[in-house]
């Protein structure tokens, strides 16, 4: 009897991933209720719950897919709700919980620390409160700098108040990799502004590289002193941005629907930005619907990979993909160990990467399959939209406002799953703490 009770307790208790999943869900619902209010919409009428839910999920999950134009549909109240949801989503609901705990002076329990640990992907419990403070200060600091740079462009253009509001909104939206804009046209009017493009691009990269990596770099400064994790995250991110820029330049520079009319400088800026934004910001400086099929496929792959772990970005994450690529190469070479930068990658890490990527692929294809049934859209656009939702990217080839209600709900769930993380969600479902004490004999299977 005691055994059963204890077993049930283990089965249903709130483990960190479950708390995370529930926290995000709660925030989305609160956001939906607020955005559903008539005062949130310019026309004074409620937008309807499904649209409010979609928008709230898109903000909390820092996705940026929108069913209505953020600039023209929402009131200042609505936009403020959205940017607050983005900031809370971006920092992570658990980091927010720590703030609340600090403000109210309540002691943080070990379980809460574990939750934060899971959220930040840090391996040590000690100094977590300190770290959380760091994260918040750093976020506000970087967003502040970003807003300052943007204001150089926006204040002359929109006047002081509106200029500051635009600068703050887009700095937060960029650093949180949210991709929401209140220009009405994303960054397509700022193609030729090196200041705006590079500021936003820098905010995206910093927001998507992971707090841990930023702290590591700030503390250690030298490449060889960095952790293996930081080395992998930085090198793969640089690799993806560099080659992405070159390939986008080649593929799109003569496309009349995107860059053909651009100068060399604008083409380079636009290619760089097209390479950075799938990591997983969602701003666009060229017309995504006008991109040709090859660039679209490349964007889909980059969106699926996404940013780095422990960051505001989505996707399966750079390091996860890199671990799988390195592992595959090692297997092909017939090597016993998977090694990188003179370190051995633990089997556990490899298995975790596999699970994340397999679930990611399965989820993207399953949702795409369902949407081919509910939506009357081209396959490539559906695949793009699904990957964008899963990776919480927010880029779209224009089909978001045309989605059916079923489609909106499915993508809401996809954004949620993409944000909480395929594995975190999976752990939250299948988590178990006990293992069997005996092992079966190995079976002989031929594969391939």
Task: Considering only residues 338 through 377, tell me which ones interact with a second copy, judged by CB under 8 A.
Answer: 339-347, 349, 351-356, 358-359, 361, 365, 368-369, 372-373
Q: Which does 282 bind (CB under 5 to 8 A by kind): K ion, a second copy, none?
A: K ion
Pick the closer one to a second copy by CB: 174 or 322: 322
State how far the Cα of 331 lies from the Cα of 335, in Å rounded to an integer. Answer: 6
Asked whether the beta carbons of 356 and 420 are under 8 A apart, the reply is: no
Site for a second copy in 378-397 (CB under 8 A): 378-380, 382
Site for K ion in 131-190 (CB under 5 A): 177, 179
Nearest-approach distance from CB 129 to a second copy, in angstroms: 20
Nearest-approach distance from CB 81 to a second copy, in angstroms: 29
Binding mask 247-266 for a second copy (x = CB under 8 A): ----x---------------
Q: Which does 444 bind (CB under 5 to 8 A by kind): K ion, a second copy, none?
A: a second copy
User: How far apart, in Å, are the Cα atoms of 284 and each of 57, 205, 275, 390?
Assistant: 20, 15, 10, 18
Question: Quick count: other Cβ atoms within 10 Å of Cβ 126?
Answer: 9
Among 2, 45, 123, 261, indicate the residue that binds a second copy (CB under 8 A): 123
Q: Which does 378 bind (CB under 5 to 8 A by kind): K ion, a second copy, none?
A: a second copy
State how far the Cα of 388 lies from the Cα of 313, in Å rounded to an integer. Answer: 12
Specify the stretch interacting with K ion by CB under 5 A; choose among 48-56, 139-147, 150-158, 394-402. 394-402
Asked whether the beta carbons of 171 and 68 are under 8 A apart, the reply is: no
The answer to whether 305 contacts a second copy (rule: CB under 8 A) is no
Binding mask 313-332 for a second copy (x = CB under 8 A): ---xx-xx--xxx-xxx-xx
- Residue in 198, 357, 217, 356 with CA at minimum distance from that of residue 276: 198
Among 146, 163, 282, 422, indicate the residue that binds K ion (CB under 5 A): 282
Task: Check the CA dihedral 303-306-311-316 and report its sign.
Answer: positive
- Residue in 119, 272, 277 with CA at minimum distance from that of residue 208: 277
State how far the Cα of 237 lies from the Cα of 319, in Å rounded to an integer. Answer: 9
State how far the Cα of 358 lies from the Cα of 86, in Å rounded to an integer. Answer: 28
The contacts of residue 256 (CB under 8 Å, 6+ apart) are none
Nearest-approach distance from CB 446 to a second copy, in angstroms: 4
Q: Which does 179 bind (CB under 5 to 8 A by kind): a second copy, K ion, none?
A: K ion
Binding mask 196-225 for a second copy (x = CB under 8 A): ----------------x-------------
Asked whether the beta carbons of 237 and 279 are under 8 A apart, the reply is: yes
Specify the stretch interacting with a second copy by CB under 8 A; choose among 29-37, 89-97, 226-234, 393-401. 226-234
């Amino acid at each position: 009897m005691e055994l059963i009770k204890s077993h049930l307790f283990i089965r249903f208790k709130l483990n960190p991933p479950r708390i995370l999943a529930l926290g995000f869900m709660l925030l989305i619902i609160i956001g939906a209720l607020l955005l559903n209010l008539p005062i949130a919409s310019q026309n004074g009428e409620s937008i309807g719950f499904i649209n409010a839910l979609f928008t709230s999920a898109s903000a909390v999950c820092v996705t940026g897919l929108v069913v209505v134009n953020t600039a023209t549909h929402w009131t200042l109240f609505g936009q403020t709700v959205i940017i607050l949801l983005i900031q809370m989503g971006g920092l992570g609901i658990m980091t927010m919980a720590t703030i609340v705990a600090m403000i109210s002076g309540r002691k943080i329990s070990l379980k809460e620390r574990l939750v934060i640990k899971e959220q930040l992907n840090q391996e040590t419990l000690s100094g977590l409160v300190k770290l959380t403070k760091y994260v918040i200060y750093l976020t506000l600091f970087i967003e502040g700098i970003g807003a300052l740079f943007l204001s150089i462009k926006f204040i002359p253009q929109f006047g002081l108040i509106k200029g500051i509001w635009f600068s703050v909104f887009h700095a937060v939206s960029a650093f949180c990799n949210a991709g929401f804009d209140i220009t009405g046209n994303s960054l397509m009017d700022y193609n030729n502004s090196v200041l705006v493009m590079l500021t936003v691009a820098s905010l995206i990269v910093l927001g998507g590289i992971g707090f841990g990596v930023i702290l590591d770099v700030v503390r250690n400064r030298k490449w060889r002193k960095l952790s293996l994790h930081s080395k992998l995250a930085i090198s793969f991110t640089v690799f993806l941005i560099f080659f992405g820029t070159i390939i986008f330049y080649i593929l799109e520079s003569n496309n009349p629907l995107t860059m053909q009319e651009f100068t060399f400088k604008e083409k380079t800026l636009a290619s760089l930005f097209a390479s950075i934004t799938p990591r997983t910001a969602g701003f666009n400086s060229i017309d995504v619907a006008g991109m040709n099929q090859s660039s679209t496929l490349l964007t889909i792959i980059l969106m699926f990979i996404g940013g780095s772990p422990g960051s505001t970005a989505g996707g399966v994450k750079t390091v996860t993909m890199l671990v799988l690529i390195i592992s595959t190469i090692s297997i092909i070479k017939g090597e016993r160990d998977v090694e990188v930068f003179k370190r051995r990658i633990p089997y556990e890490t490899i298995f975790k990467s596999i699970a994340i990527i397999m679930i990611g692929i399965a989820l993207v294809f399953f949702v795409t399959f369902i949407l081919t049934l509910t939506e009357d859209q081209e396959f490539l656009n559906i695949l793009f939209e699904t990957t964008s939702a899963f990776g919480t990217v927010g880029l779209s080839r224009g089909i978001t406002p045309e989605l059916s209600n079923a489609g909106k709900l499915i993508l809401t769930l996809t954004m949620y799953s993409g944000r909480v993380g395929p594995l975190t969600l999976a752990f939250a479902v299948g988590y178990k703490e006990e293992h069997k004490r005996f092992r079966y004999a190995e079976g002989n299977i031929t594969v391939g």
